[in-house]
Amino acid sequence: MLSENSYHDLSLINNAEKLVVTLTGDRLYQHLISILDRHNEIRGKQGINLVAADGPMSRQARHLLSCELGTRASCGEIGRRSRYFTGLDQADEIEALAISLINDLFQCKHSDPRLMGGVHANTVVYSMLKKHLNITNMFALNPFHGGNLSNHKMGPPGILDYSIIDLPIEPQTLKIDLNKFECLANVHKPLLVNLGAGVHLFPFPVREIKDIISQWGGRVFFDGAHQAGLIAAGVYPNPILDGADVFTGSTGKTFSGSQGGIICWNDDHLSRPIETMAFPALTGSHQLNRVASLVVTCIEMRTFGKEYMRTGINNAKRLASLLHNEGLEVLGAPEHYTETHQIIIKWCYPEGAKAATYRLANVGIFVNAVALPGDGHRLSGIRIGVTEVTRLGITHNALIVLAKVIAGCLLTRCFDDHARIVVADLAKALQTFKYCLDDT
């Protein structure tokens, strides 16, 4: 039984406990399947997914998540002399393929695909930087200024007792104010600058920041969780080529693979520190089935990535412009709204952005609320991502209809019943995956 201090919704936990007590194993299994069927219907067939943290995995990649490798322990590194267990020769070949493809896509010398997610990858990097390079002071984006919790006090840097100073930003674009940064950096001499954002519209000045902090040996750590697909496709500046010392990314989100994380770097001296921190320090057995699935996603990204990601950015610009024309306040308007897959609506009404996102969810449009500069307890940002609808082949006419439904629901110009019908009709046309291997 969870305590009253739990962050979980106790009513849901209590309902589940009653089912566990009263149902047989067979009936519990059937209940589970019915829940999954409802989810598939709501999210996959009747709804429009615009959650920026989601990227739709192809059927080929999804199929490999159930491969036999998923039942095997993977302790160790590639090769018989490094594995703890025998019978993993084929796993070694698959993992070598994954590393080689990642190195090619991100134009780096070294990479590690074993991480369970972006936060896991970041934990490895922060732990390595503290243990091996004695780095404990850093600059990072505040979570209310576009930053990600995994790069601030509530995440690994806070747990590892890093001293953190917030990067200065321009509120309307969420760009880093380079002049203010240079003044602050010259005073505080940070040994690390993290460039990681959950809310991100325009590229960061990686090269300029590295030039400033390299005067005292500072390093740049780029968390590309949201930009990984864009970077791999070559439609967003590659931070490694611009001087970032370490790059982490999500293999979900724009990269459109299974949930997981990667680390990329060029400096040979960082290889053993990173690899030994990944294993055995912070990982035991990673999921080999996920690595096999990742190989498929890497092949798809190498084959179709440029068209896929470029179309996504264009769709984001189009939808942002349409939403603006419908009367919504969209950030970045003077600069064509965005250079990524994300759109940010500023929602300053008393209900707050989170309540507004659930009004959209009630008609089958899924987005999320985010913090923006000046926010307190009530969030004012609505984040939209177009990766999924892009992969499902959304058309310009469909974007026009979608913008009208979003604006109508938010500005209370249409009724829920009508909006649900329109959204369900749009969703029916978005059932075929593009940019995947059966397109070749």
Q: 365-416 pLDDT, tens per residue? A: 999 999 999 998 899 999 999 999 999 999 999 999 999 999 999 998 777 8
The confidence score (pLDDT) of residue 44 equals 87
Q: Rounded to an integer, what distance in angstroms lies between the CA atom of residue 247 and that of residue 240?
A: 7
The model's confidence at residue 1, banded by pLDDT at 50, 70 and 90, is: very low
Q: Rounded to an integer, what distance in angstroms lies between the CA atom of residue 131 and that of residue 160?
A: 10
Q: Rounded to an integer, what distance in angstroms lies between the CA atom of residue 428 and that of residue 417?
A: 17
Domain 46-53+305-439 falls under CATH 3.90.1150.10: yes
Q: Is the pLDDT of residue 440 over 70?
A: no
Local structure of 3: helix, strand or coil: coil
- Average pLDDT score, the chain: 95
Question: Is 222 in contact with 195 (CB distance < 8 Å)?
Answer: yes
Report how far apart, in Å, the C-alpha atoms of 128 and of each of 141, 170, 225, 384 are. Answer: 21, 31, 19, 34
The letter for the amino acid at 405 is: V
Q: Is the pLDDT of residue 2 over 60?
A: no
Residues in the chain: 440
The model's confidence at residue 6, banded by pLDDT at 50, 70 and 90, is: low
Q: Rounded to an integer, what distance in angstroms lies between the CA atom of residue 320 and that of residue 403?
A: 8
Provide the phi-psi class of 200: left if phi over 0, else alpha when psi is between -120 and 50, else beta.
Answer: beta
Question: Is 134 in contact with 266 (CB distance < 8 Å)?
Answer: no
Q: Is the pLDDT of residue 309 over 60?
A: yes
Arithmetic mean of pLDDT, 205-227 = 98
Q: Rounded to an integer, what distance in angstroms lies between the CA atom of residue 246 and that of residue 157?
A: 15
Q: Where are the chain's structural domains?
A: 46-53+305-439, 59-298
The model's confidence at residue 40, banded by pLDDT at 50, 70 and 90, is: very high
Beta strands in 282-391 (DSSP E): 342-346, 365-366, 368-370, 381-385
Q: What pLDDT, in 10s, does the model give residues 259-298?
A: 999 999 999 999 999 999 999 999 999 999 999 999 999 9
Q: What pLDDT, in 10s, does the model give residues 234-252?
A: 999 999 999 999 999 999 9
The letter for the amino acid at 9 is: D
Question: Is 144 in contact with 373 (CB distance < 8 Å)?
Answer: yes
Which residue, among 94, 156, 113, 47, has the nearest Cα to 255 in the 3D structure?
113
The confidence score (pLDDT) of residue 343 equals 98
Q: Is the pLDDT of residue 48 over 70?
A: yes
Name the helix (H) or strand (E) containing 170: strand 169-170
The confidence score (pLDDT) of residue 270 equals 98
| The CATH number of the domain covering residues in 59-298 | 3.40.640.10
User: How buried is 38 (Cβ within 10 angstroms: 0-12 exposed, 13-18 middle, 19+ buried)?
Assistant: exposed
